[in-house]
Amino acid sequence: MSQPVLDVSDVDKNFGGLRALSNINLQIKQGTTHAIIGPNGAGKSTLLNVCIGRLPPDRGAVIFNSDVITGRQPHEINQMGVVRVFQTPAIFPDLSVKQNVMLPAFAKRDGAFRLNMMQAVADQRQLESEAEHWLEDVGLLSHQHQLVGSLSRGDKRRLELAMGLIQKPRLLLLDEPTAGMSRHDTNTTIELLKKIKLRGMTEVIIEHDMHVVFSLADRISVLAQGQIIAEGTPEEIRGNPKVQEAYLGG
Ligand code: ADP
Ligand code: MG
């Protein structure tokens, strides 16, 4: 079997006396979409935060493409290609759609001052055309000059996705991409994520909406009270009595 893109190994995470994650083992293969489902408070967001370096685990390791990333800073892990989209407060409502998309790419550039004016102008043009490319990709190009504060909820999600994609992620982490969306916006988001998946992107998606999960996931892990109680293909998970129980009992 090929090396997994992400390998979570024996991870524990406690908050005081609360064991939020207990002996988590998870391998995500290149080019697959892996959904993490489970009741509220199961530890899903905590697991994602451990993966992106926001929370240090109490035990265990996270390995990304053979590099141990446990203990690294979130921005280092991000630079390595692990990109989380949604649930980010990173949108600037008073800037335009295009300016927002340019921000993450701009932040990724080295901090060296551009003393050469021509170079600075060329850089700016390059960044703008990259931003336009990703806005077109998510279907927002016609909104590029609009202020972000005036976008619909669904369009904001598209924008956040473009802001993730411009960073050229090797692993995309999505925490509840369709939370609070209308059915129409949910379906549009599903189609968009399907398109990205078809290009071979590796994705981890946390999601409550089973329609979204079953539309996108190659494999599903079920988290309950900090433990993975089941893992398998969508068909295996659908028929698993332990999963039914965790949801009904949760
Ligand atoms: P989920 O995303 O599955 O709903 P979370 O990972 O957010 O679950 O939370 C798992 C458990 O850890 C919950 O009981 C939650 O209250 C607790 N928790 C999460 N973050 C913190 C924190 N920063 N400090 C203390 N407890 C936390
Ligand atoms: Mg959560």
The DSSP code sequence of 152-218 is -HHHHHHHHHHHHHTT--SEEEEESTTTT--HHHHHHHHHHHHHHHHTT-EEEEE-S-HHHHHHH-S
Q: Do both 31 and 75 map to the same domain?
A: yes
pLDDT for 21 equals: 98
Residue where a domain terminates, one of 109, 137, 168: 168
Find, among 109, 8, 106, the residue nearest to 53 by Cα. 8
Find, among 80, 34, 14, the residue nearest to 53 by Cα. 80
CA–CA dist 6, 64 (Å, integer): 5
Query: Ligand nearest 174 Cα, by number?
Result: 2
> What is the position in ligand 1's atom list of the atom closest to the CA of 38?
3
Q: Do both 208 and 249 map to the same domain?
A: yes
- The residue whose CB lies within 8 Å of the most ligand 1 atoms, and thus the one to mutate among 13, 18, 176, is 18
Task: State the CB neighbour count (10 A cutoff) for residue 204.
Answer: 26
Those residues of the chain that have pLDDT short of 70 are 1, 86-89, 107-115, 248-250
Count of domains for the chain: 2
Residue where a domain terminates, one of 168, 202, 226: 168
**DSSP symbol at 113:** -
Q: Do both 174 and 161 map to the same domain?
A: no
Contact 78, 52 (CB under 8 A): yes
For residue 218, report the distance from its CA to the centre of ligand 2, in Å. Answer: 21
φ, ψ (nearest 5 deg) of residue 223: -105, 135
Contact 95, 147 (CB under 8 A): yes
Length of the chain: 250
For residue 48, report the distance from its CA to the centre of ligand 2, in Å. Answer: 9
The CATH number of whichever domain residue 191 belongs to comes to 3.40.50.300
> What is the position in ligand 1's atom list of the atom closest to the CA of 48?
6
Look at strands 171-175 and 202-206 and give their pairing: parallel
Domain that holds residue 134: 95-168
Sheet strands side by side (includes 67-68): 18-28, 6-15, 59-64, 67-68
Say what the pTM is.
Answer: 0.88
Q: Which residues line ligand 1 (CB under 6 A)?
A: 15, 18, 20, 38, 40-46
pLDDT for 179 equals: 83
**DSSP symbol at 61:** E
Q: Do both 176 and 249 map to the same domain?
A: yes
pLDDT for 249 equals: 53
Residue 90 domain flag: no
pLDDT for 112 equals: 55
Find, among 188, 191, 218, 214, the residue nearest to 202 by Cα. 218
